[in-house]
Structure 1
């Protein structure tokens, strides 16, 4: 059967079916498949935007809306069962956190169905059962966007530091060879050289002359030298050939280095997060994600877990505290893409900026989310069967999309190119900085010469 499942959605469906086969509550005492007509369920109610919202009114009344409550509303009308909602006690949430308070409703048999969607685990099967999946999503990292690298060093970016080192060594070596050859020629009067014949020059003068020549070649100015010796011409020809390659390679990539925005390294994987000194993972207390990281013995997870233990506030009790952590730009948040879109949309409205980026899928767990069911309830298999029918209609996906914002510019993967915008003044900061240094040094040298020759 699994061979028919292809691609990303196929892999997710395969995981969901596997989860369902592992945790589907089989019971020989279940009601014969004659529907849920007349059944009664106690259903938990939670405030977890954008999936479910508890809106309180006067006299203790409340409205329960969202894509998750719609599941109960639709199934109750379709299969003719009744229900009552039981909100989680706020005192319990403040004391234990959202996840554990929701689990306790099932463990203490206060409700038959928990709408706080859970990821099935072997540990949780000891005190609860799981419905057919209501959502399948992969986990990704929501990461604060890194700062831009300074454009002051833009002219250095086209080459690696090792390349710059080789270029500098080559220039110094060529100048030394040129200077030595010319010094020798100037001391050999029998050589027919119009430039050096009969004119003995010191090494520093010769070295300075060829420094200007090499600089003119590197800047495509083409300063002329007149030397007849074959050895010098061979050396000069090889230098011109090498310089042509280097200069054209440099100028060809300089435009993109100046115009394209380059960011500092950031977190894109679990390994990056484990090595990061600035960012820590944040997760809900008692969630599968938090328990996986904090209880793992692998090197990567242990490094992430140790960083979380050093910052206890990274393990948040409620979604509101989690949102506060995320928007502080100090944490990396692992979650599903639909929740990321919701959070980024909120942040965009508040800050008017795109302050986060989304990584690729992280290899922790496929998000096969299910409703929690009271352990041993004979109606559980039939409820899951009817829930599967609802899943196959596609309504749950449609409800979820209607509750989420459209993908905005912060999630669009737009790639800039050097031709998309003209070079700005800020792009040439480094060039003007170098020019300023040159003017300052030239002025200082001029003042020293005036002082030396006139005083």
Structure 2
């Protein structure tokens, strides 16, 4: 009573207050009305208990192991699973019996899919309650009532465990895609920037001490620094040195980070899957399979649901909804054989993988890759609250709801869902049972780089051949043009700097008489004239043989007689 008086007193601060007498009368009237309402509610609940006591109900359900499923004994359908643990508790508390009703198609149902569904049974008042963990779909509210929320269901993806981590090959793993793109952009941009700044500096300062490097030299400097190959460029200007030093510092830090992260990835990296969310499925249009008539199908096909973005994949036959009740068979037929992604709620998925793990453990006791050929994504495919269902205007829901709420809040429902599962995680993403070893996939990028390098070298080699052929043709045309203006009378003459020069006689003709030797060596007439004016004597100077002769102007010349020196002498006059 004191609390109500305080509330009324607070209201009176900004309004005309009642007298003390009227305040007490109002509070007393409110409490008496509330007490009468509670008493009436208790009477109504007592009447419902009496009506339910010894009564016989019909309970509808779905085949959704382990939450709800049925067995047959002597022609009688018996409900099993977590749902019927709750129903049995209610039956014991309120002293009623029940029959189990199963829909014809084992589907939840929706506005466009009512025939043979669980919703149709409740809509036709053929059952008093639906004992199944049904997700809260907006399309169902026009046909049924949802009970107290039992749990927040999570649907996740089961797929074949890939041989390699989805983070990529070892060489690309240290940096994300954006970093690699920026590195490539800087590799192509820094060379022209350095070249442009050098040219701009020379023009603005007028200082020509710094030789302007060509664009190709600047580009190769940037690439060489990245590969730790150094450079032959030696800048003189301070600004140019700072540009070069800045790039070197950047490359030093970048390569240090890359080396450290690569080492960490190859030794400590965690395994990741190629498909982790709905966005991955939609973007890559991965085939997936789910239960026919389950929450996933209606969340995709019904408007207003978040998963409706996958409706296009249904139209493209990328999604398949199976009527199979055995999850293990679905896992084998669609995931293991066809490499589909199987979308299933978490309790069913855990039981399915646990049974598969126990079976494969008998095949191999030590190899974890054989024990766990499947992997589960960490990000839920869908989250939805799940509840039992009542027909509209159900008369038994006021009795059942408080008891179901007590079971949920006390953690009994959560305990029942996981009571037959081990405490440890079944087949985690990162098995971590063996040391991390380098696989061939970790080195695939090195193979790609080598292949790209060889292909690039072949292309450059081909371009060099093409340029050589083109240059030879251009040179041939130029020579032909010169030949049209120059007349060569004597083939023994050569054009040097635009002048005709008569080559000297052969070296051997210097040491013989002109008559006989000219015939033996086929010397020209000009060479005979040269020999006639030449008289030499053999001398030994510093232990070497020389021919000493006088030239036309009277100076003496030494002509070596040894073969190597003679060859050099001949070359100096003829080339």
Same fold (TM over 0.5): yes
1:101 deviates by: 3.2
Counterpart position of 1:338:
347
Q: 2:379 aligns with which of 340, 359, 366?
A: 359
- Residue 170 in 1 paired to residue 194 in 2? no
What is the CA–CA distance in structure 2 between the aligned matches of 1:74 and 1:219, rounded to whole Å?
Answer: 73
1:243 is displaced (CA, Å) by: 2.1
Is residue 276 of structure 2 the alignment partner of residue 256 of structure 1? Answer: no
Q: CA deviation at 1:109?
A: 3.9
Q: Deviations over 1:20-74 (max 9, x none)?
A: xxxxxx99977626465323222335432121343445x5356543222111222
What are the Cα deviations for residues 247-280 of structure 1, in whole angstroms up to 9, with x where unaligned?
Answer: 31233034435634686874535x665x524136
Aligned pair partner of 1:66 in 65, 81, 84? 81
8 A contact 1:100–1:286 mirrored in 2: no
- For 1:241 and 1:415, the matched residues in 2 are separated by 44
Q: Identify if the C-alpha distance between structure 1 residues 53 and 28 changes in structure 2 by more than 3 Å, giving closer, same or farther.
A: same
Structure of higher RCO (CA pairs closer than 8 Å, 6+ residues apart): 1
Matched residue of 1:38: which SS?
coil
Kept in 2, the 8 Å contact 1:143–1:331? The answer is yes
Determine if the alignment matches structure 1 residue 136 to structure 2 residue 141: no
Matching residue of 2:478:
none
Query: Deviations along 1:309-347, whole A, 9 cap, x unmatched?
Result: 3328634445548945873554573x6543444455466
In structure 1, stretches of 5+ residues that fail to align are 1-25, 182-187, 197-202, 449-455
Deviation at 1:163, TM superposition (A): 3.1
**Cα 1:239/1:28, change in 2 over 3 Å:** farther
Kindly tell me: are residues 27 and 296 of structure 1, through their superposed partners in 2, closer, same or farther at Cα, counting changes over 3 Å?
farther
Q: Deviations over 1:211-234 (max 9, x none)?
A: 776555434455666x5x732x54
- CA distance 1:423–1:241, change in 2 (3 Å): farther
Tell me, in whole angstroms, the C-alpha distance in 1 between the residues paired with 2:295 and 2:42.
Answer: 27
Name the SS for the 2:60 alignment partner: strand
Q: 1:355 to 1:179 in 2, by over 3 A?
A: farther
Paired residues, number: 388
Conservation of the 8 A alpha-carbon contact between 2:191 and 2:221: no
2:127 aligned residue (89, 111, 115) = 111
Which of 212, 216, 226 aligns to 1:218? It is: 226
TM-score after normalising by structure 1: 0.63
Q: Distance in 2 between matches of 1:45 and 1:39?
A: 19
Residue 21 (structure 1) aligns with: none
2:415 & 2:304 partners in 1: Cα distance? 40
**Kindly tell me: are residues 346 and 175 of structure 1, through their superposed partners in 2, closer, same or farther at Cα, counting changes over 3 Å?**
farther
Q: Which runs of no fewer than 5 residues in structure 2 stay unpaired?
A: 1-40, 202-207, 361-369, 465-575
Q: Deviations over 1:325-372 (max 9, x none)?
A: 873554573x6543444455466666723433131585xx641312x3
1:381 to 398, 404, 420: 398
Moved more, 311-320 or 159-168: 311-320
Q: Name the SS of the counterpart of 2:419 in structure 1.
A: helix
Quote the Cα distance in structure 2 between the aligned partners of 1:287 and 1:399.
Answer: 22
After superposition, the CA RMSD in angstroms is 5.2
3-state SS of the aligned residue for 1:32? helix
| Residues 191-210 of structure 1 mapped to structure 2, 5 A cutoff | none
**Contact kept? 1:98, 1:318, Cα under 8 Å:** no
| Alignment check: 8 A CA contact 2:70 2:80 kept | yes
Aligned to 2:285, what secondary structure does the other structure show?
coil
Q: Using a 3 Å threshold, how does the CA distance of structure 1 residues 346 and 432 change in structure 2: closer, same or farther?
A: same
Deviations 1:178-217 (A, max 9, x none): 8999xxxxxx9xx8x9xx9xxxxxx99x967x77765554
**Alpha-carbon distance in structure 1 between the residues aligned to 2:309 and 2:105:** 31
CA 242–127 in structure 1, closer or farther in 2 if over 3 Å, else same? closer
The CA deviation string for residues 268-303 of structure 1, in whole angstroms up to 9 with x for no partner, is: 35x665x524136755555555444423269x7554
CA–CA separation in structure 1 for the residues paired with 2:311 and 2:44: 43
Give 1:309's aligned residue.
Answer: 315
- Aligned-partner SS, 1:408: coil
Judged with a 3 Å threshold, the aligned counterparts in structure 2 of structure 1 residues 302 and 387 are, in CA distance, closer, same or farther, namely closer
Shift in Å, 1:164:
0.9
Aligned to 2:246: 241
Cα separation, partners in 2 of 1:92 and 1:141, compared to 1, 3 Å: closer
From the CA coordinates, give the structure whose radius of gyration is larger: 2
| TM-score of the two chains, using structure 2 as the length reference | 0.52
